[in-house]
Amino acid sequence: MSKYWNERIQKLEPYVPGEQPKDKRYVKLNTNENPYPPSPKVLQAIRDAANDQLRLYPDPNTDDLRETLAEATGLTSDHIFVGNGSDEVLAFSFMSFFSSDRPVMFADITYSFYKVYANLCSLETNVIPLDDEFKIPVDAFCEPNGGIIIPNPNAPTGQAISIDSIRKILDANAESVVIIDEAYVNFGAESVVPLIKDYPNLLVVQTLSKYSSLAGIRVGFALGNPELIDGLNRLKNSINSYTIDRMALAGAKAAIEDDLYYKQMADKIITTRQNTINSLLDLGFKVIPSQSNFIFITHPSIQAETLFHDLKNKGILVRYFNQPRISNYLRVTIGTDDEMNQFLKVLKGIINIE
C-alpha cells in the first residue's frame, strides 16, 4: 500500500496468471497454449513487417485486419473491434457495457479474470453456481442483471453450452449485454457469431492465443452490432489510440487467412484429447466432457493438490485452482502426443506409488 495510490488501486485484487517458471524445462500443460507452432505464413508475414515502416504509427483503426476478419466471419467490418489480446477486449467490455445499477452475472466456476474486472469497475456481482455436473443453469441467467458473461466452452471445465441455451439467455436479456467468451470455441464447440444479426445485445469475444497458436502476439477481438463496437472504440480512444503494433497486425491477418493450417492442428489436438481421456479413464480418473484444448480431471483417491506437486517435481506443469468446489481437480492443457505420453507415464508412476 502506498499513500500515492488512489482509492481505485487500493481496492484492486489483480489476476494471477498461470506460472511461467524459469527454474527448469517443463512439459508445460498449464496455460492452454497450443502445442503446435504458428502457420509458417504468419511467421513470414511478421518478418516482412519488420521493416523501416516501424518508425510510423500503426493504423489506429486496424482497417486491414478487420476487413480480413469480416470476410472470414461473414460480418461487415463495423461489427469488429480488435484489442491487445482478448483479456483487454474483455476488460474494455466490462468498462463499457456493464452497469452498476444491477449485478453482473457469471458462474461460480469460470475464468477467474471476470471477478477481477468486476472489482476494477466497482460492479456488484451475482455469482451463479454451476450445477453438480458443472453445467450452466440457464434459468438462473434469465433473472434481471446488469450484464452477463459466459465462456463457451467454459474454463476451467472445458464444457460447452448449446446454442439453444445461449439463445434462451439472449431472449431473456434484451436490455443487457451478453458476452460469450469464445476463446476455446474452435476445439469442438459451436460459435454464436451467426446470432449477432438477430441480437443487438450479443458480444462475441475471440482470440488468436489458443486456436491460432499466437499467445505471443496479443491479438483478440470482439464481434457484435456496430453500437457495441462503437462503445469499445470510444473507450479505446480514451486510453490508447494505437493498441496493436505493426508486426501483430500483419501476423494476425496471415493467421486468419491460413485457417486450413489451423483446422488441421485443431483436429490433431482433438484426437490427442480423446486418446488422453481414454488413458485417464483407464487410470480411474473422472474427466469432465471437454470441447476445448484442455481437460478438467479428478481422481477418486489421490488429492489434486498432491498430484499437482508430484507432477511439477517430475517436470510436468499443470494448473491447480485452490478454490471451493474445484480444489480436487486439475486442469491439463492438451499438448502434442509426445507431451501427453510423458504426462501419462509420470502420472502412472505417481499413482502406483501413492
For the CB of residue 244, give the shortest distance to a copy of itself in the complex, in Å.
Answer: 8
Q: 171 or 227: whose CB is closer to a copy of itself?
A: 227
Question: What character string, x for contact with a copy of itself (CB under 8 A) and - otherwise, covers 36-55?
Answer: xxx---xxx-xx--xxxxxx
Q: Which of 237, 306, 323, 327 binds a copy of itself (CB under 8 A)?
A: 237
Does residue 336 belong to the site contacting a copy of itself (CB under 8 A)?
A: no
Region binding a copy of itself by CB under 8 A among candidate stretches 152-160, 214-222, 293-301, 342-350: 214-222
How many alpha carbons lie under 13 Å from residue 308 in its C-beta half-sphere? 19
Q: How far apart are CA 56 and CA 66, in angstroms?
A: 20
| Largest pairwise CA distance in the chain | 60
Does residue 30 belong to the site contacting a copy of itself (CB under 8 A)?
A: no
Does residue 23 belong to the site contacting a copy of itself (CB under 8 A)?
A: no
Q: How far apart are CA 237 and CA 319, in angstroms?
A: 36
DSSP string covering 256-299: HHTHHHHHHHHHHHHHHHHHHHHHHHHTT-EE---SSSEEEEE-
Amino acid at 46: I
Q: How far apart are CA 56 and CA 249, in angstroms?
A: 14
Q: Which of 23, 25, 56, 322 binds a copy of itself (CB under 8 A)?
A: 56
Contact set for a copy of itself, span 248-287 (CB under 8 A): 248, 251
Q: Which of 126, 233, 275, 342 binds a copy of itself (CB under 8 A)?
A: 233
Q: How far apart are CA 62 and CA 80, in angstroms?
A: 10
Q: 48 or 143: whose CB is closer to a copy of itself?
A: 48
CB 252 within 8 A of CB 219: yes
Does residue 295 belong to the site contacting a copy of itself (CB under 8 A)?
A: no
The C-alpha cell of 12 is what?
484492486
Does residue 238 belong to the site contacting a copy of itself (CB under 8 A)?
A: yes
For the CB of residue 346, give the shortest distance to a copy of itself in the complex, in Å.
Answer: 21
Does residue 243 belong to the site contacting a copy of itself (CB under 8 A)?
A: yes
Please tell me the chain's helix, strand, coil percentages from 3-state DSSP, rounded to the nearest 5: 40, 15, 45
Does residue 242 belong to the site contacting a copy of itself (CB under 8 A)?
A: yes
φ, ψ (nearest 5 deg) of residue 166: -65, -40
Region binding a copy of itself by CB under 8 A among candidate stretches 185-193, 224-232, 284-292, 310-318: 224-232
Does residue 214 belong to the site contacting a copy of itself (CB under 8 A)?
A: yes
Contact set for a copy of itself, span 71-130 (CB under 8 A): 84-85, 87-88, 91, 95-100, 116-117, 119-120
For the CB of residue 116, give the shortest distance to a copy of itself in the complex, in Å.
Answer: 5
The C-alpha cell of 189 is what?
464447440
Going from the C-alpha of 338 to that of each of 112, 187, 352, the distances in angstroms are: 30, 19, 21
Does residue 8 belong to the site contacting a copy of itself (CB under 8 A)?
A: yes
Q: Which of 124, 245, 258, 259 binds a copy of itself (CB under 8 A)?
A: 245
